[in-house]
């Protein structure tokens, strides 16, 4: 079992179970089409809606009398609901490797779909992600299968929720020199927000001062902000004063190792949330966590966590000996937003406590995390 889950995913192709490290997860593709429908819009426009379990990544091409929406890393066979009065006659889904091509037979030529007429909607109510395409009859489309590059990228500012762990009555762990986890992580969170804002991300802090927040509330902030990434910042303590180093965690019901399990129990203890009881979480979140979504979120979180560990390693920040990514049932990560819990270092280690207090080291951590966020592929 020395194969990392990440490597395993890369090798797995279709239908291979991920080595039992995350037992419920058998990745074939990261995304699935859940439904498709067409409808007539005002001004004679046609609307095509493709509902997917995760944020879709797509390309559009226009072969003769057709429009093909090619969805990366996607599977699915659904019967489209077609409205009779649109420009789309018929829709067939064709699996091509890890791509799903949604082929729409058209009643006539259409104009290339402009950026402004493509929307990706985040899940809400009974709906999952939706790719919404509006188009009209026209003559502007080349007949040679030319890709509409203009439609490929949707201008979007990615949203990141930064969670400074603990706060208020809950100090988190405390170093021998008296440094409190809640203070260190708030300072790092604020610095991180400033840097990410500066390069164009839209960021929110779960707390910006010394207040107590329940774990469920933190997760809910990420949901309500429709965050693309959730980063929960913590610092660690270990009975052995020698133990030092950062570690990165993602959510799983089963911990990767005993240490990770204990850590999750400690971090969850603040709300007295057991590893399996999440009753406090809002109905919205509990309902939203379909197994399909969990799979997609788990995979994206794993990708981010790998980016994060790599950036920390590259910055020569000491890593807690062991795997680069661990997982455990952290309550705060339980949402539909991909993310990771980062233990920045050990306050129980005297020299690391000193580092964690210092601006220079905090800035170093922030730079590494910023790099990891820049490396993360949001466009999925």
Which C-beta is closer to Zn ion: that of 57 or that of 250? 250
Instruction: Identify the bridge partners of residue 135 per DSSP, sorted by sequence position.
Output: 46
**φ and ψ at 323, to 5 degrees?**
-65, 155
Can you say whether the dihedral through the CA atoms of 132, 74, 340, 157 is positive or negative? Answer: negative
Which C-beta is closer to Zn ion: that of 165 or that of 245? 165
Distance in Å, CB of 194 to Zn ion, minimum? 22
Distance in Å, CB of 176 to Zn ion, minimum? 17
Distance in Å, CB of 69 to Zn ion, minimum? 43
Distance in Å, CB of 170 to Zn ion, minimum? 9
Which C-beta is closer to Zn ion: that of 163 or that of 303? 163
Which strand ranges, in their side-by-side order, compose the sheet holding 99-106? 88-96, 99-106, 66-71, 58-63, 144-147
| Euclidean distance between CA atoms 144 and 274, whole angstroms | 58
Which stretches of the chain bind Zn ion, using CB under 5 A?
A: 165, 172, 234
Instruction: Identify the bridge partners of residue 144 per DSSP, sorted by sequence position.
Output: 63
Distance in Å, CB of 181 to Zn ion, minimum? 5
Which C-beta is closer to Zn ion: that of 67 or that of 222? 222
Which C-beta is closer to Zn ion: that of 106 or that of 308? 308
Which C-beta is closer to Zn ion: that of 55 or that of 234? 234
Distance in Å, CB of 234 to Zn ion, minimum? 3
Which C-beta is closer to Zn ion: that of 187 or that of 290? 187
The residue whose Cβ lies closest to Zn ion is 234
Distance in Å, CB of 75 to Zn ion, minimum? 38
């Amino acid at each position: 079992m020395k194969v990392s889950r990440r490597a395993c995913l890369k090798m797995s192709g279709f239908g291979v179970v991920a080595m039992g490290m995350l037992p419920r997860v058998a990745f074939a593709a990261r995304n699935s089409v859940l439904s498709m429908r067409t409808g007539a819009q005002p001004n004679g426009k046609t609307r095509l809606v493709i509902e997917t379990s995760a944020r879709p990544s797509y390309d559009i091409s226009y072969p003769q009398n057709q429009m093909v929406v090619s969805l990366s890393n996607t599977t699915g066979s659904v019967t489209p609901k077609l409205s009779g009065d649109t420009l789309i006659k018929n829709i067939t889904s064709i699996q091509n490797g890890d791509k799903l091509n949604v082929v729409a037979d058209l009643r006539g030529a259409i104009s290339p779909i402009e950026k402004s007429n493509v929307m990706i909607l985040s899940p809400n109510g009974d709906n999952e992600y939706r790719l919404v395409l509006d188009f009209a009859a026209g003559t502007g489309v080349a007949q040679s299968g030319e890709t509409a590059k203009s439609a490929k990228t949707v201008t979007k500012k990615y949203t990141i929720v930064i969670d400074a762990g603990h706060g208020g009555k809950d100090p988190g762990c405390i170093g021998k020199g008296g440094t409190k986890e809640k203070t260190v992580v708030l300072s790092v969170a604020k610095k991180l927000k400033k840097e990410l804002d500066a390069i164009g991300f839209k960021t929110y802090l779960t707390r910006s001062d010394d207040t107590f927040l329940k774990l469920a509330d933190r997760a809910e902030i990420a949901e309500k902000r429709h965050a693309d990434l959730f980063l929960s910042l913590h610092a660690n303590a270990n009975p052995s004063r020698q133990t030092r180093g950062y570690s990165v965690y993602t959510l799983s019901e089963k911990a990767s190792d005993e240490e990770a399990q204990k850590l999750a129990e400690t971090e969850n203890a603040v709300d007295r949330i057991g590893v399996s009881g999440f009753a406090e979480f809002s109905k919205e979140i509990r309902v939203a966590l379909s197994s399909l979504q969990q799979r997609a979120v788990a995979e994206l979180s794993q990708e981010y966590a790998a980016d994060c560990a790599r950036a920390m390693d590259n910055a020569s920040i000491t890593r807690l000996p062991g795997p680069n990514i661990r997982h455990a049932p952290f309550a705060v990560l339980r949402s539909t937003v991909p993310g990771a819990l980062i233990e920045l270092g050990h306050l129980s280690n005297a020299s690391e406590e000193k580092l964690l207090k210092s601006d220079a080291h905090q800035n170093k951590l922030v730079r590494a995390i910023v790099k990891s966020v820049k490396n993360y592929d949001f466009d999925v």
